[in-house]
């Protein structure tokens, strides 16, 4: 039997869900793409606020919404401050640190950022450098990742250095995804659904629903992979 407790829980979950969704939309994509330590703590706090409304009967959903609004406003103010006042960025967001300079590890910078050699090696391997000796410069970013410039002997040669003539770099577009046609990408590629259907039939498929994804690159044939087909 449907209890009023479950009804209240359902309402609180729905309200909390849309409140958090609205908060992320207002704060912008940088809250998701650049997860700084402060952003991580903020996410935990907001999650705890919603959790209190769900599991604590004495905490009303209205109080939680007010708390989320206040917390979100504070984060938004900080974002505005860092955009408008350049000097506040290092204080509120931190600043990048050079941890490797001219092939030498700066141990003072590592100590200041609470890093050891093993952690530094892990960050370097994530960037494709399996030896510290391969790196000429390394910058620890504010979100905890590292950006590196490899030494000349270990760096990937550029097309310009190999005297390779420039050629257009087309953008791959998914025109079919999970059995559905992407009309937006078709329009971007100046293609029609009639053309796409002919290509599907030409490659031995009956309808779009059979296709897991279809990728189109200008100058190349349409690539199709069916749901039951394993990637080659």
- Per-residue confidence of the chain (232 residues) as pLDDT tens digits? 445 566 666 776 677 677 767 766 665 555 444 555 566 666 677 677 667 666 666 666 677 777 777 777 777 777 777 677 766 665 666 678 899 999 899 889 888 888 888 889 999 999 989 888 999 999 998 778 899 999 988 888 888 888 888 888 888 899 998 899 999 999 999 999 999 999 999 999 999 899 998 999 988 889 999 887 544 4
Which pLDDT score, from 0 to 100, does residue 71 have?
A: 74
C-alpha 123: how far from chain center: 18
Q: Do 76 and 106 meet the contact criterion of CB atoms below 8 Å apart?
A: no
pLDDT of the residue at 224: 93
User: What pLDDT sits at residue 32?
Assistant: 46
Buried b (16+ CB within 10 A) or exposed e, 164-188: eeeeeeeeebebbeeeebbeebbee
What burial class does residue 203 get, using C-beta atoms within 10 Å of its C-beta: 0-12 exposed, 13-18 middle, 19+ buried?
middle
What's the per-residue H, E or C state across the chain?
Answer: CCCHHHHHHHHHHHHHHHHHHHHHHHHCCHHHHCCCHHHHHHHHHHHHHHHHHHHCCCCCHHHHHHHHHHHHHHHHHHHHHHHHCCHHHHHHCCCCEEEEECCEECHHHHHHCCCCHHHHHHHHHHCCCCCHHHEEEEEECCCCCEEEEECCCCCCCCCCCCCCCCCCCCCCEEEEECCEECHHHHHHCCCCHHHHHHHHHHCCCCCHHHEEEEEECCCCCCEEEECCCCCC
């Amino acid at each position: 039997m449907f209890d009023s407790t479950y009804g209240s829980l359902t309402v609180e979950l729905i309200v909390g869900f849309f409140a958090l969704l609205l908060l992320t939309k207002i704060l912008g994509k940088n809250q998701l793409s650049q997860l700084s330590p402060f952003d991580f703590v903020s996410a935990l706090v907001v999650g705890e606020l919603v959790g209190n409304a769900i599991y604590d009967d004495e905490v009303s959903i209205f109080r939680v919404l007010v708390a989320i609004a206040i917390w979100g406003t504070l984060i938004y103010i900080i974002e505005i401050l860092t955009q408008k006042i350049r000097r506040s960025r290092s204080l509120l967001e931190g600043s990048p640190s050079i941890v490797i300079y001219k092939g030498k590890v700066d141990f003072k910078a590592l100590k200041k950022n609470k890093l050891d050699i093993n952690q530094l090696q892990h960050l370097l391997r994530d960037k494709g450098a399996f030896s510290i000796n391969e790196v000429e410069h390394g910058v620890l970013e504010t979100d905890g990742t590292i950006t590196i410039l490899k030494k000349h002997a270990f760096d990937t040669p550029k097309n310009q250095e190999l005297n390779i003539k420039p050629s257009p770099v087309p953008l791959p577009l998914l025109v079919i995804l999970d059995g559905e046609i992407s009309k937006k990408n078709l329009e971007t590629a100046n293609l029609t659904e009639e053309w796409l259907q002919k290509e599907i039939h030409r490659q031995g498929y009956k309808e779009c629903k059979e296709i897991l994804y279809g990728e189109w690159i200008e100058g190349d044939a349409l690539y199709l992979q069916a749901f039951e087909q394993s990637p080659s």
